[in-house]
Amino acid sequence: MSTLLVAEGLVKAYGRTPALNGASVRVRAGEILAVTGASGSGKSTLLHCLAGIVRPDEGTVTYDDERLDAFDEERLSALRRTDFGIVFQFGRLIPELTALDNVALPLLLAGRKRAVARADADAWLERFGVRGQRELRPGAMSGGQAQRVALARAMVTEPKAVFADEPTGALDSLATEQVLTSLLHAARETHAAVVLVTHEAQVAAYADREVSLHDGVVRETSVPVAGVTR
């Protein structure tokens, strides 16, 4: 596999609170990478630096041989609309929009015609098994349904990398399995890399490879965990 993302020597602090202290990691194209560690170890900050949401105080992030940390905000925003998909623990769907319109939104922001965007969004809702909720707003869906809608929104542009920050942290075991299985199938089909932040060993077991953060540093890298093709 070719290397898609490289973080080297990342340092990030929030005020006097250190989050990263020289973290380095490589993400290969098409791989599922689990980032684990205790609460406060810097997992989410590392993911946010890789996704261009947070700029490191020191160190570099390279995406597709370009310095991501040097991009201006306009270019970063454009990248997150096309090459990157992002999923948070609670989905962060827009409450006033239906599931269909939530998923279509990234395509509309990228300039796609409304009819085409909605058709593509509908197809992705079908792939994630939530087409029956297409006209529902987030408040009328279960947690698992809403998170699969959030995954469809992250995947609708067929990004090269998906960043998932504790995407199953608020779900029960059944919904967790449904969400992770849906995400991995979609990523395998589109050859997207997935950076999966989690503190749960059973979630990390879905990944191809695992790195562990301790006090803001990547201390260990596992051999491939499972090579899951579920």
Q: What are the beta bridge partners of residue 7?
A: 25, 61
Amino acid letter at 114? R
Per-residue pLDDT tens over the stretch 108-143:
998 999 999 999 999 999 999 999 999 999 999 998
User: If you search the block for the tokens 């995400």, which residue do you land on?
Assistant: 183
Q: And the tokens for 27? A: 């993400």
Q: And the tokens for 16? A: 């006097």
Q: What are the beta bridge partners of residue 34?
A: 196, 210
Instruction: Find, among 12, 156, 150, 159, the residue nearest to 89 by Cα.
Output: 150
The pLDDT confidence band at residue 80, using thresholds 50, 70 and 90, is confident
Percent of the chain with pLDDT over 90: 71
Whether the predicted pLDDT of 96 surpasses 90: yes
Q: Note the pLDDT of residue 178.
A: 87
What are the sequence ranges of the domains in the chain? 3-221
Q: Note the pLDDT of residue 91.
A: 66
Torsion-angle region of 54 (φ positive above 0: left; ψ -120 to 50: alpha; else: beta): beta
What rounded mean pLDDT belongs to the chain? 91
Longest alpha-carbon distance in the chain: 49
Rounded to whole angstroms, the Cα distance separating 167 from 80 reads 18
When pLDDT is averaged across residues 138-153 and rounded to a whole number, the result is: 92
CATH 3.40.50.300 for domain 3-221: yes
Per-residue pLDDT tens over the stretch 170-183:
788 888 888 899 89
Whether the predicted pLDDT of 149 surpasses 90: yes
Q: What does pTM read for this prediction?
A: 0.90
Q: Note the pLDDT of residue 223.
A: 55
Pair 197, 40: CB distance under 8 Å: no
Per-residue pLDDT tens over the stretch 23-52:
999 999 999 999 999 888 999 999 999 999
DSSP of 15-37, one letter per residue? TTEEEEEEEEEEEETT-EEEEE-
